[in-house]
Amino acid sequence: MSSVTIGGHTYSDDNNPTTGLGAGGHRMRFIPLVQDIVAVAAEAASAEAFIAGHLVIDPGTYYVIDSGVANAYVLNIILNNYVQGMAISFKATNANTGASTLKVGTLAVVPIKKNKDVALDLGDIKAGQVVTVIYDGATFQVQSQLGLEAKVQVEHNSNGTHKAIIQKALNVKIVPNSTVNILDIFTLSGGNVPNADNIWVFQINTGNGLVPNTRAGSYLTGNGRFTFLDANNYGGAVSANNSRYIFYLYGIYDGTGVVLALSRYTGFERVPTTTTISDPDFFKLEDGSTYIRDSAHSCECYGHVWLSFYTTNTPDWTILTTAGLEPRVLFQPAIDYGGTLNLATTNISGSNIAVYSVVNVVVKQSGIYEVSGSVRGSVDGGTYTQLNSFIKIGSATYGSATAIAMAGGEFSGSGFYQSATINPRRVYGVAGDTIHLGASIAGSSGNRNICGDNGYVGATSLTFKRVG
């Protein structure tokens, strides 16, 4: 038997090539055989370890944990080239903070896009998130849900119509502090103030549709907290002790970042500039903020919180947490700006009272308003009562404002209260316009009276509400 040789290594031979059996018999060369077996085993173990760390793939769908940094994701994959239609899933080690790329093995760096050709925004990839992308020949298009993707809520109306409402505040949580007059705004993902891995996204309409704006920490030294101080009548809310009041959470975009604020009303689209705490359009800024109010800055409403005000409590303000009154983020808060104003004191005159503005209000938001009013009056003597009410809008000077509606007329007799009521009318008002309720009364003798709250509460009143 001749010798056995593989790859240049001889493993057996004998001293009689004809019979295979010589005096010495068949001989095996054990040392080289064992050495090569050990070498093969070592190579196999090495390959196994390499594959475990790098994942060898062919075109298809694959999964690996990335080893890169934020915005520059790296996958240790052995791949000859990128193939159009290839799908890869990876677990991101870091959240992204903006436009991002993906590099597979030794191949070129490729941009990651969303919505076909849009660069990623801060928070689109969260730390620990599994991201699926498909190579389109030039970029990796994200197929999985984005880290902070807006939700859509469908509103079903009683008339059979439906409306899709986009969530405007993402990863935002409104949290009552253990101190009852303090409200904290946290992230849902982190359960605390925002940071690089847990960010807020506020979609704000700056004139060209909703634009996502992010915040990953303090901005203009604001800390995302609101402290309600004793004896402060925020937005003129307090009309009675031991009552409940609602405030709304806003995000303000100043061209660089997002500032948080609270207001009595929804519907503001531009930032009111008043710094008078009791004004109805006062924006209470987050604690510590150095933001300067600017009417050119856009804002959006995202949620609400109920508080009670009671001076016998310490502190006066208490954030309510009972079911139905707990703080919550809202998809699309309904506009609720408006109110009713009453004539406080009865106007009494021994002669006819010419038309004048008995009650008026300066509107703080531009939009469509539904306005109504009622005047109650009497003449003490004589044979008739001539009572009229008017609604006008525009100039702060009553005589220069534009007439919208009137009601009333002549009533026979005297000594009885009569009413001149104007039913709701719609009118467009510009922020800064004055809405007037005008009144006049005439008679033949005796005092002429336009009734105020001291005679009959709500007798003469103006009601306005923004409806669009």
Q: What is the reported pLDDT for 27?
A: 55
Mean pLDDT of 271-291: 96
> Which of the listed residues 271, 294, 329 is the one where a domain comes to its end?
329
pLDDT in tens, 366-394: 999 999 999 999 999 999 999 999 999 99
Alpha carbon of 257 to those of 67, 202, 274: distances in Å? 31, 10, 21
Alpha-carbon distance of 179 to 225, in angstroms, equals 12
Q: What is the CATH number of the domain that holds 415?
A: 2.60.120.40
- The yes-or-no verdict on residue 13 having pLDDT over 60 is no
User: Quick check: is 324 in a domain?
Assistant: yes
- The yes-or-no verdict on residue 2 having pLDDT over 70 is no
Q: What is the reported pLDDT for 57?
A: 45
Q: What is the reported pLDDT for 97?
A: 77
Which two three-digit tokens encode residue 271?
A: 């930032």
User: In the chain, what is the straight-line distance between the N-terminal and C-terminal CA atoms, in Å?
Assistant: 103
Question: Same domain for 324 and 397?
Answer: no
Range of the domain at 100: 61-142
User: Quick check: is 284 in a domain?
Assistant: yes
Mean pLDDT of 307-314: 93
Question: Same domain for 322 and 399?
Answer: no
> Which of the listed residues 296, 329, 362 is the one where a domain comes to its end?
329
Mean pLDDT of 135-146: 91
User: Higher confidence at residue 153 or residue 125?
Assistant: 125
Which residue is listed with tokens 């005589």? 399
User: Quick check: is 158 in a domain?
Assistant: no
Alpha carbon of 215 to those of 69, 97, 170, 290, 365: distances in Å? 20, 11, 11, 16, 27
Q: In what side-by-side order are the strands of the sheet with 182-187?
A: 172-176, 182-187, 225-227
Question: Same domain for 43 and 133?
Answer: no
The 8-class DSSP code of residue 60 comes to: S
Question: Same domain for 193 and 300?
Answer: yes
Q: What is the reported pLDDT for 210?
A: 82
Q: What is the reported pLDDT for 333?
A: 82
Q: What is the reported pLDDT for 10?
A: 58
pLDDT in tens, 168-190: 888 899 999 999 999 999 998 88
In the chain, how many domains are there? 4
Question: Same domain for 206 and 135?
Answer: no
Categorize the per-residue pLDDT at 149 as very low, low, confident or very high, splitting at 50, 70 and 90.
low
Please give the angle made by the CA atoms of 331, 336 and 337, to the nearest 5 degrees: 130
Q: What is the reported pLDDT for 354?
A: 97
Which two three-digit tokens encode residue 284?
A: 């209470």
Number of residues that this document lists for the chain: 468
pTM: predicted TM-score of the whole model, two decimal places: 0.70
User: Quick check: is 149 in a domain?
Assistant: no
Question: Same domain for 177 and 277?
Answer: yes
- The yes-or-no verdict on residue 91 having pLDDT over 60 is yes
- The yes-or-no verdict on residue 102 having pLDDT over 90 is yes
Alpha-carbon distance of 348 to 412, in angstroms, equals 20
Please give the angle made by the CA atoms of 347, 386 and 426, to the nearest 5 degrees: 80
Q: What is the reported pLDDT for 284?
A: 98
CB 392 within 8 A of CB 438: yes
Determine the 3-state secondary structure of 32 from DSSP.
helix
> Which of the listed residues 329, 349, 367 is the one where a domain comes to its end?
329
User: Higher confidence at residue 225 or residue 195?
Assistant: 225
Which two three-digit tokens encode residue 122?
A: 């801060």
Mean pLDDT of 340-346: 96
- The yes-or-no verdict on residue 410 having pLDDT over 80 is yes
Which two three-digit tokens encode residue 135?
A: 């190579």
CB 423 within 8 A of CB 372: yes
Question: Same domain for 37 and 67?
Answer: no
Alpha-carbon distance of 113 to 116, in angstroms, equals 6
Mean pLDDT of 444-448: 94
Q: What is the reported pLDDT for 261?
A: 98
Q: What is the reported pLDDT for 413?
A: 86
**Could you tell me what percent of the chain has a pLDDT over 90?**
65
User: Quick check: is 151 in a domain?
Assistant: no
User: Higher confidence at residue 452 or residue 95?
Assistant: 452
Q: Which of 38-42, 80-84, 238-242, 419-423 reaches the highest mean pLDDT?
A: 419-423
Alpha-carbon distance of 271 to 284, in angstroms, equals 11
Residue by residue, DSSP assigns 372-429 as EEEEEEEEEEEEEEEEEEEEEEE-SSGGGSEEEEEEEEEEESSSS-EEEEEEEEEEEE
User: Quick check: is 347 in a domain?
Assistant: yes
Q: What is the reported pLDDT for 146?
A: 79
Question: Same domain for 200 and 240?
Answer: yes
Alpha-carbon distance of 306 to 324, in angstroms, equals 10
Question: Same domain for 289 and 406?
Answer: no
Categorize the per-residue pLDDT at 311 as very low, low, confident or very high, splitting at 50, 70 and 90.
very high
Beta bridge mates, 87: 61, 134
Q: What is the reported pLDDT for 78?
A: 84
Average pLDDT, the chain: 86
Question: Same domain for 321 and 296?
Answer: yes
Q: What is the reported pLDDT for 20?
A: 46
Question: Same domain for 106 and 212?
Answer: no
Categorize the per-residue pLDDT at 52 as very low, low, confident or very high, splitting at 50, 70 and 90.
very low
User: Higher confidence at residue 153 or residue 344?
Assistant: 344
Question: Same domain for 70 and 117?
Answer: yes
- The yes-or-no verdict on residue 217 having pLDDT over 90 is yes
User: Quick check: is 148 in a domain?
Assistant: no
User: Quick check: is 321 in a domain?
Assistant: yes
